[in-house]
Structure 1
Amino acid sequence: MRDHSAAIAGYWDAAAASFDEEPDHGLRADATRAAWAALLRSWLPAPPAEVLDAGCGTGSLSLLLAEDGHRVVGVDLSRKMIERARAKFAAAQVEGRSVEGRFLVGDAAVPPTDGTSFDAVLCRHLIWTLPDPVAALREWVARLRPGGRLVLVEGRWGRSGEGSVPYADGAGGLPWQGGVGAADLAACVRPLVAGLRIEPLSDVQDLWGGAVSDERYALIGEAGEAGEAGEIRG
């Protein structure tokens, strides 16, 4: 099978310069930044925690986590995205903010973290780009410590399925191109975790910089011992 990772990385490298222009990417508006910060606090363990940001992009969520006292490892296939994430942390440190994080260029579906375990794995709007999302879910859960949190911010937007135009060379035939609905994602995650809950996010306009009409949500899974399954309450 041909390796298309270079073409896909190139696509996201080209997108890096304008990536933060989207309200939920750059978090430049105070209300948007505050909305994401509040949700991250509600989803993640109390700081300081070791957090893997899989598909971190330009590092905006990583920076929010680090500002709250978490130790963050960000992974992205795009070198240009990683450069921008590192620059954000460097700028924060120059401003006197105490933030701790490191960023790695690599496949977020199989993060190159040398067997490190984490208190939480965060992934936002990445799953739709993966050729084998279920394998990635297993990989992320395997990196969680007992009681750790898997936080997936996902949605179903745009066209999907047969006939959809691939977003990049080599990205054709993606199983979840255009996103994945909460029920379908929960069905894949539930066997892997000890507890699970879903939070609808479509109506929280501050997160997106305005009203949206598609399905957006967070799925929060809690790691446990092998064979445990259930629902997170609250």
Structure 2
Amino acid sequence: MPTELSTAIAAYWTAAAPDFDQEVDHGLREEQARTAWADRLADWLPGEPVRVLDAGCGTGSLALLAAAAGHRVTGVDCSPAMVELARAKFAGEGLPGAFLVGDAAEPPTGGEQFDVVLARHLLWTLPDPLAALRAWAGRLRPGGRLVLVEGRWRQPAEPVPYVPGAGALPWGGGVGAEQLAAAVRELGFEARVEDLTVEPALWGRQVDDERYALITV
């Protein structure tokens, strides 16, 4: 059953949906950013077509790149507006993909199993990120992998609250690579971490906070 906090989070992202893709790394409308993310995904995802669950898919930008590379993508997002934008992107490109409205921390995919669970900048928004990691691990086929793009971002001197009650979010300021690696080790995974601050094309600018990808192996 949705909690007051989860309802507020869904409302926040629904309100953000119309302008979400204006950020270079969200919409991937600029060729340099789109190519940079496509190249990274090619390194993180298996070379052969596999089933990918994009948890917290937003407007589907990364899902679209994965589908264009031949992968079979299912996206889940708590915001109906985000899901509609993702569906429209896929329709515009003539690519197959399934998109569901639901809790990305507990994806409504039934007993379906995936080769990869992909999540970008999602864990900081979740009331229980460790439970989400367990749920995602449970969606993986034997030998499957988690691909988690996360970080700890610079905060303004007087940050605007994310949503009411956001101060209770365990990883509300982001999560560092060492902490996340420790969490996935508890689930029985080993992982490698790639520093993403070194490639400004991913973000449309130079960044100096912590941004990384963690890929389980």
TM-score, normalised by the number of residues in structure 2: 0.94
Q: Say whether residues 1:19 and 2:20 are aligned partners.
A: yes
Tell me if the contact between 1:128 and 1:177 (Cα under 8 Å) persists in the aligned partners. Answer: yes
Q: Say whether residues 1:80 and 2:81 are aligned partners.
A: yes
Q: Structure 2: how far apart are the matches of 1:107 and 1:164?
A: 26
Q: How does 1:163-174 map to 2 (within 5 A)?
A: 166-174=161-169
Q: CA deviation at 1:46?
A: 2.1
- For the residue of structure 2 that corresponds to 1:4, the secondary structure is helix
Query: Number of residues paired by the alignment?
Result: 215
Tell me if the contact between 1:23 and 1:209 (Cα under 8 Å) persists in the aligned partners. Answer: yes
* 112, 117, 135: which one aligns with 2:113: 117
Counterpart amino acid of 1:28?
Answer: R
Residue in 2 that maps onto 1:107: 103
* Residue deviations 1:7-33 (CA, integer Å, cap 9, x gap): 211110110011001111000111110
Residue in 1 that maps onto 2:125: 129
Tell me if the contact between 2:184 and 2:190 (Cα under 8 Å) persists in the aligned partners. Answer: no
* 150, 154, 168: which one aligns with 2:150: 154
Over 3 Å counting, the alpha-carbon distance change for 1:16 and 1:2 in structure 2 is closer
* 196, 205, 209: which one aligns with 1:214: 209
Residue in 1 that maps onto 2:60: 59
- For the residue of structure 1 that corresponds to 2:22, the secondary structure is coil
Over 3 Å counting, the alpha-carbon distance change for 1:174 and 1:164 in structure 2 is farther
| Unpaired stretches in structure 2, ≥5 consecutive residues | none
TM-score, normalised by the number of residues in structure 1: 0.88
Q: Structure 2: how far apart are the matches of 1:12 and 1:113?
A: 21
- For the residue of structure 1 that corresponds to 2:166, the secondary structure is coil
* Residue deviations 1:40-98 (CA, integer Å, cap 9, x gap): 010111231000000000000000000000000000000100010000011111xxxxx
Over 3 Å counting, the alpha-carbon distance change for 1:86 and 1:2 in structure 2 is closer
Residue in 2 that maps onto 1:71: 72
Residue in 1 that maps onto 2:195: 200
CA RMSD of aligned residues (A): 1.7
Moved over 3 A (4+): 163-166
Moved more, 61-70 or 141-150: 141-150
Q: Say whether residues 1:191 and 2:186 are aligned partners.
A: yes
Over 3 Å counting, the alpha-carbon distance change for 1:141 and 1:2 in structure 2 is closer
Q: How does 1:84-103 map to 2 (within 5 A)?
A: 84-93=85-94, 99-103=95-99
Q: CA deviation at 1:6?
A: 2.2
Over 3 Å counting, the alpha-carbon distance change for 1:2 and 1:36 in structure 2 is closer
Residue in 2 that maps onto 1:230: none
- For the residue of structure 1 that corresponds to 2:127, the secondary structure is coil
Residue in 2 that maps onto 1:225: none
